Structure 1
């Protein structure tokens, strides 16, 4: 198993009941590891502002991430820069079947089940990595770029014509 490209551990027991806001800006070496991990050419800037608040025996992380990165266009195969932003709202619970907190309904729990809280800790680096990878377009194109299929020549022989000829020989 490979090592995570980015880790920033927060112990929930160390937080005040009102929570704490963490502003994360990974260094260049970490951004390079993240770029390889999420399969982009480069991450020029990555910022996350995440509020971590204890909720019952678990925690809730809210905030957002934004990044400037470089991807390869699937149309022209040329690199281009793009910006992504993702909102984060994740609950962490130590048990598998949590009860809704007063600010959450049972419907909220059905839509987005909580992530497991392991050893009373949340890895914000792992969360940033997850949301960053979700924000990256898997089929990136430069702005305004459109794929145009090559023109088809209706008079050209079918590629299967040679196979049909072989079948007739057998």
Structure 2
């Protein structure tokens, strides 16, 4: 497996049962590499603030990812600035059949269906990759610049609302009356 562009690994043996705060920030070269990976025009800032702790079910990570990025408009290619401010709540779990490290076995209740799980690879969890993926998932997949509607109209593309007849049966009625 290749090392991610923005990697900040927290070793499992350094994560205890007491919550520990971790703040990370992508450097210029890391942001430039992520621009290529995610097809963005720029990432001006990418940061994560997390609380990590070892629990019976694995490693719980809670926090927030913030970023300032520039996407390309899906219609015009114009730059579209975007802000990301996303909560993170993950549980890193050991692969099936792997034994969790011996430690504090206190059971912590988490809202199971609401928490995404990620399989632990190697001897740590990568908070940089967590931040990068969270940022990418939070972005609008089809960003639009202010000029997008005008460009689409000039190209003859109409909106769904414009394409719908006022009465959905009007077209059928006209066809039936005209063919009768």
* TM-score of the superposed pair, with normalisation by structure 1: 0.74
Deviation at 1:146, TM superposition (A): 3.1
Instruction: Report what 1:69 is aligned to.
Output: 69
CA distance in 1, matches of 2:88, 2:74: 28
Partner secondary structure for residue 75 of structure 2: coil
> RMSD of the alignment, in Å?
2.6
In structure 2, list runs of 5 or more residues that go unmatched: 101-106, 158-180
**Runs in 1 of length 4+ with deviation above 6 angstroms?**
none
**1:136 corresponds to 2:139:** yes
Aligned counterparts of 1:39 and 1:129: Cα–Cα separation in 2:
13
> Which runs of 5 or more structure 1 residues have no equivalent in the other structure?
153-170
Q: CA deviation at 1:119?
A: 3.3
In 1: Cα distance, 2:116 partner to 2:48 partner: 23
Q: Shift in Å at residue 27 of structure 1? A: 0.9
Map 1:3-152 → 2, pairs under 5 A: 3-56=3-56, 58-96=58-96, 101-104=107-110, 108=112, 110=113, 112=115, 114-142=117-145, 145-146=148-149, 148-149=152-153, 150-151=155-156
Instruction: Name the CA shift for 1:144/1:51 in 2 (closer, same or farther; >3 Å).
Output: farther
- Count of residue pairs the alignment pairs up: 147
Distance (Å, rounded) in 2 between the aligned partners of 1:50 and 1:88? 8
Q: Could you tell me whether the CA contact under 8 Å between 2:71 and 2:79 is conserved in 1?
A: yes
Aligned-residue offset at 1:59: 0.3
